[in-house]
Structure formats: C-alpha cells, structure tokens
Amino acid sequence: MRTAIYPGSFDPATFGHLDIIRRSSKLFDHLIVAVLNNSAKKSLFSVEERVSMLKMLTADYSNVSVDSFEGLLVDYARRMEAGFLVRGLRAVSDFEYELQIAQTNHVECPGIDTIFLTTSLNYSYLSSTIVREFASYGGDIRQFVPAEIIPLIYGKYNIDKE
C-alpha cells in the first residue's frame, strides 16, 4: 500500500491545491491531505474549518482522506506509515526552500521520499495569500477557488457578496 501525505496550510484551499490532489491521488493508493496546525502562524480559517472544507472538496475521491497534524511532518508521516510526501512547485522561488526541507526530511527519515509535482500552468500564479488579499477587498475570486467555499471566504471579511 503506497500512502502519501500532501501537507500544507490550505488557508484556504485553491484550484492549485485541488489540481495537485487530483493528480497525486492517481499516483498513490492512499493520499492524506494534512493541514498543518501551526499555532505560531496566524491563519484566516481554523484548522477544523480547513479540514472540513477540504473534506467537502475531495469527497469524490475515494482514496483521499483529510487530517490535521502538529509538530514534525516526518513524525506524522511515520505514524501514518506513509512513504511519500507530496509538494507542489509553482516557480523557481519555491524550489530552494522546498529542496532544503525535502533534504532535511530525508536525512531525518530516509524511508520517506518527497515527490514534487509541477503546477499546471494555469495555476502557477495562484496562492492562498493572493486569494485572501483579493477577497479582503471584495475582489472576484471565482477563478481561484471552488464556488462552494467562496461565501465562507468573504464571510471572514464580513463581505456580503453573491
């Protein structure tokens, strides 16, 4: 059984994340989308809200589950008996950081490999930060995130928008 973990903040999940989830769900028997519970980082959505949104958005994939974790990713991966970590690469700017993390994780836990998927071109510019910025000013975010979660995002900024 090949189990992989796709970790991230997902604050909120975007079409870019969902594209990585769709593609990596085909590569592994079980994909765990894992929301990092990082109390040091201020987030728009609580961990519970992010998990519940991701569960809704991935409901159609029978081999994808959603969870949250605290602490070291490699410890969580060991607990879940996952042999792979999935990360998305958008641009060269992601690369240096991701390489460093992947190599550190590999040293910590040689049994776990990081698999990088390059972003689909149409989402390469997309980040949760951009979505939050746009939404906070009432901007149109329909091209960035699924329709189901749009009202939840505007709701966080007290914006009432159809």
**Catalytic site residues?**
17, 41, 90, 128
Q: Find the binding residues for ligand ADP in span 123-142 (CB under 6 A).
A: 123, 126-128
- Taking CB under 6 A as the criterion, the residue among 5, 18, 20, 51 binding ligand ADP is 20
CA distance 120 to 139: 23
Choose the stretch contacting ligand ADP; rule: CB under 6 A; options: 15-23, 48-56, 60-68, 76-84. Answer: 15-23
Least distance (Å) between residue 92 CB and ligand ADP: 12
**Of the two residues 61 and 160, which places its CB atom closer to ligand ADP in the complex?**
61
Q: Applying CB under 6 A, does 88 fall inside the site for ligand ADP?
A: yes
> Token pair for residue 73?
């990713």
**Of the two residues 19 and 78, which places its CB atom closer to ligand ADP in the complex?**
19
Q: Please spell the DSSP secondary structure of 50-99, one letter per residue.
A: HHHHHHHHTTT-TTEEEEEE-S-HHHHHHHTT--EEEEEE-SHHHHHHHH
Q: Applying CB under 6 A, does 9 fall inside the site for ligand ADP?
A: yes
DSSP type of residue 149: G
Amino acid at 131: V
Strand order in the sheet with 84-89: 64-69, 30-36, 3-8, 84-89, 113-118
> If you compute the radius of gyration of the chain from its CA atoms, what whole number of angstroms results?
16
Q: Rule CB under 6 A: which residues touch ligand ADP?
A: 8-10, 14, 16-17, 20, 87-88, 90, 94, 119, 123, 126-128
